[in-house]
């Protein structure tokens, strides 16, 4: 397949949590997706699994029009692996590289205000505030919140969301956390917004990663 035909075909890498997610999108539509289980699999086999994923869907690297990588928050090692792979591919293919906040991929099913949060261990909690009205979802920027401020902050929203398996569920048991997997449609929407709103980066773009 020629990359002149698929100018808006993008590959998104989210290595912020387990499992790692690889998503192919065209325009604002997710086409296909695969998951890679385990931190070790991400660090050792990401490039191999990426090639297998594209091949299984009958695409080649040359078909890609841009590539995106999660900036976190997430695991130090996994985020660096994802960013390094994405930057290397973007440079080799001479295509734009974008980044996206992993917390913005977790969305509620019902309308209202919400917080998406992820445990930052001793540092506190990474949290992002948003609101859903029908199909429209607006989100703020992620902030690092001290543990002592979390109950007051979460009490202001009608829904509290976290990635599936996050330790916040046990640490703040008083709040009925909704454990979600990434919303691939939201992921594609955010990626296209970043691609349109920001000029393409240079060959070695800076990705500001949010480590746990």
Q: Model confidence over 181-194: pLDDT tens digits?
A: 999 999 999 999 88
User: Measuring CA to CA, which residue among 79, 80, 82, 72 is closest to residue 163?
Assistant: 72
Q: How many residues in the chain?
A: 212
User: Residue 21: its pLDDT value, please?
Assistant: 93
Euclidean distance between CA atoms 94 and 17, whole angstroms: 28
> For residue 1, what pLDDT is reported?
44
Residue 5 has pLDDT above 60, yes or no: no
User: Taking the CA of residue 25 as centre, how many other CA atoms within 13 Å lie in the half-sphere pointing to its CB?
Assistant: 26
SS3 string, 32-46, reads EEEEECCHHHHHHHH
2 falls in which pLDDT band (50, 70, 90)? very low
Q: Helix-strand-coil percent breakdown of the chain, rounded to 5?
A: 35, 30, 35
Spatial distance between the Cα atoms of 149 and 117, rounded to a whole number of angstroms: 13
pLDDT of 9 strictly over 80: yes
78-113 pLDDT, tens digit per residue, is: 899 999 999 999 999 999 999 999 999 999 989 999
Q: What is the mean pLDDT of residues 161-165?
A: 89
Please provide the DSSP assignment of 40-90 as one string.
HHHHHHHHHHHHHHHHHTT--GGG-SEEEEEEESB-HHHHHHHHHHHHHHH
Helix axes 76-93, 39-56, angle to 10 degrees: 30
Instruction: Kindly list the structural domains of the chain, giving each domain's residue range(s) and its CATH number in brackets, ordered by start.
Output: 9-102+183-197 (3.30.420.40), 107-180 (3.30.420)
Q: How confident is the model at residue 63 (pLDDT cuts 50, 70, 90)?
A: very high
CA distance 24 to 90: 15
State the Cα–Cα distance between residues 150 and 162, nearest whole angstrom. 13
Tell me what the mean pLDDT of segment 42-51 comes to.
85
């Amino acid at each position: 397949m020629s990359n002149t035909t698929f100018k808006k075909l993008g590959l998104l890498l989210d290595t912020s949590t387990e499992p790692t997610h690889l998503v192919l999108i065209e325009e604002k539509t997710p086409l296909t997706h695969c998951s890679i289980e385990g931190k070790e699999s991400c660090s050792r086999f990401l490039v191999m699994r990426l090639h297998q994923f594209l091949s299984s869907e009958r695409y080649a690297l040359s078909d890609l029009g841009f590539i995106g990588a999660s900036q976190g928050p997430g695991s130090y090692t996994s985020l660096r692996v994802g960013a390094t792979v994405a930057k290397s591919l973007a440079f080799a293919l001479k295509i734009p590289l974008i980044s996206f906040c992993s917390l913005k991929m977790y969305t509620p099913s019902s309308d209202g205000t919400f917080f998406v949060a992820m445990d930052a261990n001793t540092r506190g909690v990474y949290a992002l505030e948003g609101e859903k009205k029908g199909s429209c979802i607006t989100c703020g920027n992620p902030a690092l919140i001290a543990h002592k401020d979390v109950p007051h902050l979460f009490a202001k929203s009608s829904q509290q969301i976290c990635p599936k398996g996050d330790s916040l569920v046990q640490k703040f048991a008083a709040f009925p956390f909704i454990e979600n997997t990434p919303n691939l449609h939201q992921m594609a929407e955010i990626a296209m917004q970043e691609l349109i709103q920001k000029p393409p980066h240079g060959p070695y773009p800076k990705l500001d990663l949010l480590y746990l």
